[in-house]
Structure formats: C-alpha cells, structure tokens
Amino acid sequence: MTLAGYRRDADTHPPLDSPEYRSTRLRHPTQPLTLLPHRLTEVTGPLLGPGRVGPLDHDLTRQHDGEPVGQRIIVHGRVLDGDGRPIPDSLIEIWQANAGGRYRHTGDRWPSPLDPNFDGVGRTLTDAEGRYEFVTIKPGAYPWRNHDNAWRPAHIHFSLFGRSFTQRLVTQMYFPDDPLFGQDPIFNAVPERARFRLVSRFDLDRTRPEWALAFEFDIVLRGRDATPLEDGHG
C-alpha cells in the first residue's frame, strides 16, 4: 500500500499573528513554522465512533424537559475532502451560545440570562454520504472586550476530525448577511476570498413548515496529494 499526503492549503487560514484580534498578541509563535512532510503519523487518525454519540446529541432542542427559547433552526450539510469525496462516519462536535448570546460556561458573565432548557452542545456522526444534521436554536450575538463596543456575529463552533491528523479542523459557522461581520476581527482575519466559506446558506427547501428554519453549511477538509509519501508506508 502506498499512502499519499495531503495538499497544503496556504491562503486559506487566518494568520496566527492577527493584531486586530488582541488575544493573538501573546499567543502566536515568533519563530517560523517548520515544514512537516506527511508520514504515517500525519496521514492516520483516530476512529471516534458511534459510542461517543447519544441518540439526542444532534438535537439541542430536546436535551431537557422543556424547550429552549429562540428560533428553531436546522443546520445541515456535508463533510467533504478537497477532492469532493464525502467523509463518512466522522465525528462532528458543536457548541454555541443560547438565543440571548450567553454560553453555559462559568467564564461567561455577560448579563443575559442562561436558558434552563439549553446547554448549547451537540455531537453527531456523518452518514455514508458525509451528511450531517443538527437541530438547534439560532445563537444570539454577544459582546466581548476586544475593542470598544465589540460584538461577535452569531456563530456556531464546529470541530471536525476527518480521517487523519492532518485533516483536523476547528472552525465557526456564521449566518448570511450578518451586520456584525464588518467589525469582527476573528471573521475578518480569514483571507477575504475565503471568508464566504464560513457563512452558511439559508435553505428554504430544508425548512420544516410551521416548525423550523434551515441553513446549509458544507465543510471541506484537506484533499490528497497526487504524489505518495516521501518515505512510503514503511
């Protein structure tokens, strides 16, 4: 068996030193990164299977006795690799604020109430075609102290494993036409031509009449290189 590495994706990710996002100041390396050619450790990855996902983990509106406050939404899409191949049976983790923009986290002290019926944490596995679906409520925007009158646009945090260590990705999904995009240094740290890839699409076809709106968010993890690993399978 010959294993191939993964194509590099320069000009996609935000630079680690992004001064407008103040927390990067003391949290970016100052030495250049060392190029790591892909070997066996980089092209393999954990199998985190169904044992990690409970039957209601994908439905954040049904994890308590009552229903959470807020606009019900379906968030769905596909997880693909850079060659358009679906990534099946792969763990997706999400976390988010409630409808008022408050996280169920001891560090979140902004004066918007917690919702006793909402934890804001979900998990699922992609199906055989790489598809996933969550049911949740639309998160609210929330203030933070990065700059004067700073607000995060509404977003859902996404964590993906793909098939290999190299494909691991943590990102955030946004909603179309958010008026807060212009002043958000986290969103704007992404190179301009790549930013739209973080914005979900309103999906009328997948709304549930008299029940929930729907948004589509496809996620693309890195694709395979055409050339085999430099030291083969070994």
Partner 1 sequence: MAELPTTPSQTVGPYLHIGLSWDDGPYVVPEGTPGAVWLCGRVLDGAGEVVTDALVESWQADPDGRFDQLGWRGFGRSDTRDGGYAIHTVVPGAVAGQAPHLDVSVFARGLLHRLVTRIYFPEHERSEDPVLRSVPPERRDTLVATRTGDGYAFDVRIQGERETVFFDV
Q: Restricting to residues 149-208, name those near partner 1 by CB under 8 A.
A: 157, 159, 165-166, 168-172, 186-187, 189-191, 194-195, 197-198
Hey, which residues between 124 and 153 contact partner 1 (CB under 8 A)? none
Q: Segment contacting partner 1 (CB under 8 A): 60-68, 115-123, 124-132, 207-215? A: 115-123
234 binds partner 1 (CB under 8 A): yes
Q: Which two tokens stand for residue 30?
A: 């100052």
Which uninterrupted H or E stretch holds 193? helix 192-195
Q: Which two tokens stand for residue 93?
A: 């983790």
> DSSP secondary-structure letter at 198?
G
Q: Which two tokens stand for residue 123?
A: 């998990």
Rounded to a whole number of angstroms, the minimum distance from the CB of residue 65 to partner 1 is: 20
* Binding residues for partner 1, total number by CB under 8 A: 76
Cβ–Cβ < 8 Å for 146, 21: yes
| Residue 174 designated active-site | no
CA distance 104 to 95: 10
| Residue 157 designated active-site | yes
| Residue 155 designated active-site | yes
Cβ–Cβ < 8 Å for 92, 123: yes
Residue of 19, 52, 62, 208 interacting with partner 1 (CB under 8 A): 52
